[in-house]
Amino acid sequence: QVEAAIDRGQAWLLEHSDELVRAEPDQYVSQMGIALYSIWGHAYAIHAILPLHERAAGDEELQARLKKLLEYHVGRLKTSEFINGGWSYYDEGAKTLTPSGSPFSFSTATVLIALKKAEKLGVDFPEPLAKKAVASILRQRYPDFSYAYGEYLKHRPRYDINRPAGSLGRSQVCNLALRMYGDEHVTDEVLKTWLNRLFARN
C-alpha cells in the first residue's frame, strides 16, 4: 500500500508539478503585492524528487525524467530569487520581473536547503545567487540566533515575532541552511540550545 501511494504521488509530480509558476495577485494579496507561494512548491518538489530518483535505481528513463523535473524547479527558483537575495512568498516591492520586495529568513532557508540537496544529482544553483541568499539570512540573524521574520523587520529585534519565542519555528531551519553553506558560527551547541527552547515552550 505504501509503495502504491508513492507511485501515485510520483505520477502526479511528474505530470503536474512543472505547471507550477509564479502566482497571479489574488483578492487579498493584490492589496499588498504579488503572491509567490510557488516557491514552497518548488522547494518541496526538490525534496520529493531526490528520494524518488534514488528509488528508481535501475530505471534510467524514469531517473532522467525526474532529473529533468528537478532542473525545472531549480530553474524556477533562480528566476524567483529577490533582487537583494533570498525568497519570500509575497513581493510587496516594485512589481518587477525579478521580485524586489523583502525576502523572509525561513523561506530563504527552506529553498537553500533544497538547492544544496539538489547538488547530489549534479543540478547546481549559481553560486553568486546562493551567496546573496545566504547573506540575506545573515542580515536577519540576531546575536542570540533568533532570526527576523523578514528583512523588513531586521532592525526591530524586540518586535513581537522577532523575539526568541517568535523565532522558534525559524531558527533551526535558518541555522541548518547556514551550516550547510559553511557557517561555522552554527555550532552543535547552538542547535541544542534552540531545540531545548522549542521543547520547553511546547
* Residues in Cβ contact with 26 at an 8 Å cutoff, skipping those fewer than 6 apart: 35
Q: What is the pLDDT of residue 30?
A: 54
Average pLDDT for 140-158: 94
| DSSP SS3 for 35 | strand
**Phi/psi of residue 91, nearest 5 degrees:** -120, 105
For the stretch 89-104, pLDDT in tens is 877 767 777 888 889 9
**Is the whole model's pTM more than 0.95, yes or no?**
no
From the list 175, 165, 149, the residue with the least C-alpha distance to 198 is: 165
> Residue 31: its pLDDT value, please?
58
Count of C-beta atoms within a 10 Å radius of residue 89: 15
E strand or H helix at 27, and its extent?
Answer: none
Contact present, 108 and 136 (Cβ < 8 Å)? yes
User: What pLDDT is recorded for position 23?
Assistant: 63
Given this model, what pLDDT does residue 98 score?
82
- How would you class 82 by CB atoms within 10 Å of its CB: exposed for 0-12, middle for 13-18, buried for 19 or more? buried
pLDDT of residue 29: 56
Average pLDDT over residues 43-51: 97
Q: With 90 as the cut, is the pLDDT of residue 129 above it?
A: yes
Residue 135: CB atoms within 10 Å: 14
pLDDT exceeds 70 at position 28: no
pLDDT score at 47: 96
